[in-house]
Structures are given as C-alpha cells and as structure tokens.
Structure 1
Amino acid sequence: MVLYHGSSQIVTEPEIRIAKFNKDFYFGFYCTLLPEQAKRWATRYTGVGYLNEYVYTPDESLNIKKFPEMTEEWLDFIAACRLGKSHNYDIVEGPMADDTIFNYVQNFVDGKISREAFWNLAKFKKPTHQISFHTARALTTLSFLKGIEVTDHE
C-alpha cells in the first residue's frame, strides 16, 4: 500500500516530532492514503512543498487502533489527544479532524458546543484519512519511494 506525507521537505527517514500543539492522534508521523490531502499539507504555509511517497507494509504484531469512520469513540480519542493525553498505540488510523472539524472538536473540548451539536456540524464534511506512526518500531513499516515538489496551484 502506498501512503503519502506532505512536508516542506523531502523526508527519506520519517521521524516522530514533538510539536507545539497536540494533534488528532497525539505526536507522531502522519500519512494518508489520499495524495491530494497530503499535497494540501505540503503547501499550506508557502504554497510549495513536497509530496513524499512510502510503501507501507503492515505488521500485525504492532498495537494498532483503527477508526473506520467518525464515531463517539473517535471523538473521545481525539479530544483526549488534543488535551495532551498520550496512548499506547504504535499506529492509529482514521478520519482526520481537518481545519473545520478541528474547530468543532476544540469547541466540544472547551465545552462551547455539545456532543450532539458536534455531530450535527460534522456530518456534512467530506471524507478524510490519516494514519499516524507513534513508535520507532511502527516507522519501520514505511519504506521511502520518492518525494516530488508540488504547488498549491497545480
């Protein structure tokens, strides 16, 4: 299976970076099955970036959490991760809280909207996908294929 990672640089050796803000599935190396989504990640700051491609070879011995769709469990998991709570999964896969969904999640976490209001707002969003790698062992399932420069006006 081919996965994509959008970045400001070519990333031949994926790594887990601790960022300023907690992400959907906590700190990790994030990829997607959707090249257009990775391209948006790559070009979001300067309009130019790199679409990195990897072969992903699943390893069933890893501790993997999959969310096939946005569910109550997914919302609670993302809310906990966004609040800084870590987890013990090597890999987490599921829908992404994009900019709009992120705002809804943050409003839910902050108590500004109810769970019901979150679901009413979220149901009209288009599908997204992310798979995040949280341990060094999980990163060994990725093999770099290539990185190509992309722009936001292609």
Structure 2
Amino acid sequence: MKLYHTSDVIIKDPSLTRGRKNADFGQGFYLSSDLEFSRRWAVKDSLINEYELDENGLEIIRLSRNADWFEKIMKNRRLEDTLPADIVIGPIANDTLFDTLGIIGSGFLSSDEALSLLMIGPEYTQVVIKTRKALDQLVWQRAFDAGQDEELLETIRKEREQYQIDFSEAMKKM
C-alpha cells in the first residue's frame, strides 16, 4: 500500500507517540492513501513523505462512515482507545467533529443528529499506524514538494464554502 504524510520536514522514521491520543482513531502515525488529499493539508513549503506499507501479517480494522465509526471516534475523543489493531483505515472526521463536538457534548444534538452532520461533505480516508509491528513494515520511499497550486487552493475554497452552506442548512432542519 502506498501512503502519504504531509509535513514541513522529511520523516524517515515516524513516531507512534507524536500524534494526539484523542485523535479520530487514537494515538498513532496518521497517513493517507490519497495523494491529492495529502496535498490539501499542505501549507507553504510543505513536503509530502511517501511510504510503502507491507500489510502482510498485520491486523487491520477498516471502518466506514456510519454509526459504528461515529461511536469509535467519540470513544477515542474521550481517550477510550477502542481500536486495538496494528492499522486502522477509515474516514476522517477531524474538522467536522471539532466544529460539532461542543454541540454534541452540550446535549443539544442526539447522536443520530451529530452523525448526520458528520456525513456532510466529501469523505476522505486516513490510515493510522498504531503499533511498532506495523511501523516496522512501513518503509519511507521519498519526500517531494507538496505542490499546492492556485487550482487546488480554489478547489479547497469552493469545497469549504459548499460544506458551510450544507452544514448550515442541516442545522436549520434540526
């Protein structure tokens, strides 16, 4: 599996402990199998580190954007790591969850309503290396300029604008 990680430095030997414990899928090294998505995380002078992962012999949990995924993310946000695997592959909830977590925690929204908000917008996948065993099977290949151009920046701007419209409309219906 080819994977990408955007950073301001070359990361030949990634760490499992640098990421937040309360991230979507718990602590680990977060990557994407989607190069174009990785470019979206870039800021000026960013690099994309490219890796190859040998999946053989690894326990992999694959999640879809549904109620089970939502429950696991919420537990991880409360530091109850519910994903004891070498690798977790599933949808990203970061931006939407950060925006709605206060609303969810206040009791203003039910879990079903919160999940419906998390379903808004495009779905992007993340791959999380959670164990030393999996990290040992991740091999750095190269680093290259992230190459954010005006076309990509405009696409990101339009996508965010549409997301805000869709999110606002969904909130009005609740």
Describe the SS at the equivalent of 1:38.
helix
Q: Tell me the equivalent position of 1:22.
A: 22
Distance 1:105 1:96, change over 3 A: farther
Q: Once the two structures are aligned, what percentage of the paired residues are identical?
A: 29
Larger Rg belongs to: 2
Higher relative contact order by CA 8 Å / sep ≥ 6: 1 or 2?
1
Tell me: CA distance 1:137–1:83, structure 2 relative to 1, closer, same or farther (3 Å).
same
Distance 1:109 1:75 in 2: 14
The C-alpha deviation readout for 1:98-135, integer Å capped at 9, x for no partner, is 41244235533553421221233233310100010111
- Report 1:1-154 matches (<5 A): 1-19=1-19, 22-43=22-43, 47-59=44-56, 61-67=57-63, 69-87=64-82, 88-105=84-101, 107-150=103-146, 152-153=148-149
**Distance in structure 2 (CA, Å) of the matches to 1:134 and 1:20:** 12
Unaligned runs of 5+ in 2: 151-174
* TM-score for both structures, normalised by structure 2: 0.75
Distance 1:106 1:91, change over 3 A: farther
**Structure (1 or 2) with the greater strand fraction:** 1
Alpha-carbon distance in 1 for matches of 2:6, 2:78: 24
Q: Is the 1:7–1:52 contact (alpha carbons within 8 Å) kept by the matching residues of 2?
A: yes
Runs of 4+ in structure 1 displaced over 6 angstroms?
Answer: none
Change (3 A) 1:17 1:102: same
Q: How many angstroms apart in 1 are the aligned matches of 2:19 and 2:138?
A: 21
TM-score by length of 1: 0.84
Q: Is the 8 A contact 1:79 1:105 kept in 2?
A: no
Q: Tell me, which stretches of 5 or more residues in structure 1 are unaligned?
A: none
Aligned length: 149
Which one has the bigger helix percentage?
Answer: 2
Who is 2:156 aligned against?
A: none
